[in-house]
Chain A
């Protein structure tokens, strides 16, 4: 019973690693969809000292043929085995510029700051003068393995990040799905590691010669390896058959060459989000 309750409602958070919802068998021709809106407090970009509050669109759709859209990710469940999930996965990685990480869906720019940043915040922005990293559609796949119906190992590999499209990210994690607290409250916990290649780190944490001249940051050419470790806690509150309140707390700590980048002001970041979603 726990597994079906394990809704990993993904949210449009630039700091969230790619998540795949659990397999959701349903009648042929049916779909299960959540749409909602909330608020997130998150670092302006990976490694930023300052946080900002953003509007948080929520979207998760699953179709009977196994296809799904979950936040900024989309994929297809190809496995019919309840212990293994795998399939292709794509993820929209938002643009990063000196104003921070962006986000969007269906061409609607969803990022804006609820609270105006102070001048002091902007003066200390190490992305000033750095070339923007363009929005990219990452492509790859995912594999999840259930140790028990409540515990699963997760893995995804996505490539195509960065302006050079040569960035590759591997996310590995362990999730405890849907720990039920009462009839309508479910808590999920997750821990994971992200590994990237040198191209990915160079795109988001490196400083080239031209960038150095424009931004004043020292030239930095990171290698690949472990990028970060993260812990996440999600709380889903079923208010009614059609209404859900979903909240998330995620802590992330940059590691390896990413952590030592001159762009990183603070290696540890915490993201808090909450949103209300309607189930169609």
Chain B
């Protein structure tokens, strides 16, 4: 009973303190913010990574807690005392993340320009697309190995994983998706498109995707007529 009384007293004090915190109530109601410092802490790991990463790119991805949120017209704002930066989101909810000392020191918040409910953010590493849409298998494999190297650097439990291929992800309104495999001997093969999520764990479904699995053909090329939103490494 004594411990129960202590627990109740402590919880009551906590709630009282929470309700009494200056500005806390109003901002908790909004609940549509993420700490820039927390996002910085996640994103800077890739920047500090000393391994090969020239074929990779990293974005900050907005993750709504409610399903079915569309990112059209959505914009992320970095709001600090001395800094205000607008970050455009792509169709996957990703934005290039600026590493700013001023925003960090301000303890700035990341806000959305439209209410979508509560959300979190996370880093997303993908392969850098080519302007001409032509990808040598050797380059894709090297890029996937770079991504796997970084993933292992962050997460020791991925040591047993291997690069199995890549997933090309396209915009929902990209039209007919045309991705083909071109071999040196001249035989071209259309790669089938399916719909699904861009990244593992994404709630957003319905993106046209094309998966290419590495077959060991050093002189093969993957040619994408449509510009992909993202090229996602597949670890198996």
Contact = CB atoms under 8 A, between A and B. Distances in A.
Contact of A243 (B11, B24, B108): B24
Contacts of A28: 101
A274 interface: yes
B14 A25 contact: no
A17 interface: no
A194 interface: no
A41 B10 CA distance: 8
Interface string B29-71: 0010111111111101100100000000000000001000000
Interface string A1-17: 10111000000000000
A272 B3 contact: yes
A241 B13 contact: no
A161 interface: no
A280 B104 CA distance: 10
A25 B6 contact: no
Contact of A27 (B31, B99, B153): B99
Contacts of B44: 25-26
Contact of A183 (B7, B31, B100): B31
A267 B24 CA distance: 40
Contacts of B153: 82-83
Contact of A239 (B6, B21, B34, B45): B21
A187 to B, nearest CB: 15
A183 B123 contact: no
Contact of B120 (A24, A180, A243): A180
A147 interface: yes
B107 A276 contact: no
B121 A32 contact: no
Interface stretch (B154-162, B165-173, B174-182, B188-196): B154-162
Contacts of A51: 2-3, 6
Contact of B41 (A24, A243, A273): A24
Contact of B157 (A24, A80, A82, A148): A148
Nearest to B18: A245
Contact of A247 (B14, B99, B101): B14
Contacts of B120: 1, 180, 183
B107 A241 contact: yes
A53 B9 contact: yes
Counting contact residues on chain A (CB < 8 A from B), the size range is 35 or more
A25 B3 contact: no
Contacts of A275: 14, 17
Interface string A175-198: 000001011100000000000000
Given A38-B17, A40-B10, A51-B2, A184 B31 contact: yes
Contact of B27 (A3, A5, A240): A240
A38 B42 contact: no
B6 A38 contact: no
A25 B28 contact: no
A84 B153 CA distance: 11
A245 B118 CA distance: 18
30 contacts: A4-B38, A4-B41, A25-B41, A25-B45, A26-B40, A28-B101, A30-B104, A32-B37, A38-B14, A38-B17, A40-B10, A41-B6, A51-B2, A82-B154, A83-B155, A149-B154, A182-B65, A239-B27, A240-B21, A240-B27, A241-B27, A241-B108, A247-B10, A274-B14, A274-B17, A275-B14, A275-B17, A276-B17, A276-B21, A280-B107
